[in-house]
A and B are shown apart, each in its own frame.
Chain A
Amino acid sequence: DTAVSQTPKYLVTQMGNDKSIKCEQNLGHDTMYWYKQDSKKFLKIMFSYNNKELIINETVPNRFSPKSPDKAHLNLHINSLELGDSAVYFCASSWTGYNSGNTIYFGEGSWLTVV
């Protein structure tokens, strides 16, 4: 059983399109995240949801909109895709609490290519 699963794994799309990446975790965690890995392999947090509430929102263009229907799911919708959005997007989950430093478990990544 995959603990954190995300779909699709690969996505090639044209500039200007809108696309979504879905994520589900079966670890029972109460917090989920989206991280972005750029072409130089640098990883940076985008969003975090705790029990469906947005708790971390880094400086991300508002074309990116996360949605958490329940604490086991966190989807990422991207409007008007640009070439610079090409990256690997990782979903992740953990238990959390303020100042907890709990381990974050990642999904397998979704490779997005905008052409």
Chain B
Amino acid sequence: AQKVTQAQTEISVVEKEDVTLDCVYETRDTTYYLFWYKQPPSGELVFLIRRNSFDEQNEISGRYSWNFQKSTSSFNFTITASQVVDSAVYFCALIASGGYNKLIFGAGTRLAVHP
């Protein structure tokens, strides 16, 4: 069975703090894909990153960085120098192999960045 766990329900930080959102996944497949999506207060779902299981390189995009560790089945997301505009619900998700694109989402982490 496939599963994504985001243990942090809500995180509250003050602007300019760094914050890490945790994501732990479960799958028996050797080929799989991991994603992060952002849902701002306006409600849309915005794609942030896709990673396949064979690429464990960390990725940095501006203030965002992702740490993929197969040994711990984790795909954590760090925002450096957080800003109020980062306030949103962030979802980690998994597509396992052996089927058509079926995203399995974690429960989401609500991030509140205060001025």
Query: What residues of chain A have their CB less than 8 Å away from a CB belonging to chain B?
Result: 31, 33, 35, 40-45, 48, 50, 55-56, 88, 90, 92, 94, 96, 98-109, 111
Query: Is there an interface contact between A101 and B107, defined as CB atoms closer than 8 Å?
Result: no
B112 near A: Cβ within 8 Å? no
- Nearest-neighbour CB distance to chain A for B87, whole angstroms, equals 14
Cα of A107 to Cα of B37 in the assembled complex, Å: 13
Q: How far is the CA of A88 from the CA of B37 in the complex (A)?
A: 16
Closest to A50 in B: B100
A42 and B98 CA atoms in complex are apart in Å by 24
Which parts of B1-51 form the interface with A (CB within 8 Å)?
Answer: 31-33, 35, 37, 39, 42-47, 50
Q: Given A42-B105, A108-B43, check contact A101 B99 (CB 8 Å).
A: no
- The reply on B89 being an interface residue by CB < 8 A is yes
**With contact pairs A101-B32, A109-B43 given, residues A56 and B102 touching in the complex (Cβ less than 8 Å):** yes
- Residues of chain B in range 80-115 having any CB-CB distance to chain A below 8 Å: 89, 91, 95, 97-103, 105, 107-108
Contact yes or no, B108 A99, CB < 8 A: no
Chain A residues, Cβ within 8 Å of B97: 99, 101
* CB-based contact B52/A101 at 8 Å: yes
* Chain A residue nearest to B103 in the complex (CB): A104
> What is the count of residue pairs linking A and B with beta-carbon distances less than 8 angstroms?
70
For chain B, which range describes its interface: under 10, 10 to 19, 20 to 34, or 35 or more residues?
20 to 34
Contacts of B101 in A (CB 8 A): 31, 33, 48, 94, 96, 100-102, 104
Min CB–CB distance A66 → chain B (angstroms): 15
Top 6 A-B pairs, shortest CB-CB distance: A101-B33, A106-B45, A43-B105, A108-B44, A101-B95, A99-B97
Asked, given contacts A41-B107, A42-B107, A43-B91, whether A99 binds B31 with beta carbons under 8 Å apart, the answer is: yes
For residue B105, which residue of chain A has the nearest CB?
A: A43
| Option from B45, B47, B103 in Cβ contact (under 8 Å) with A109 | B45
* Nearest CB on B from A109, distance (A): 5
Output the least CB separation between A58 and chain B (Å): 9
Q: How far is the CA of A102 from the CA of B52 in the complex (A)?
A: 10
Pick from B32, B39, B50: contact of A103, CB under 8 Å: B50
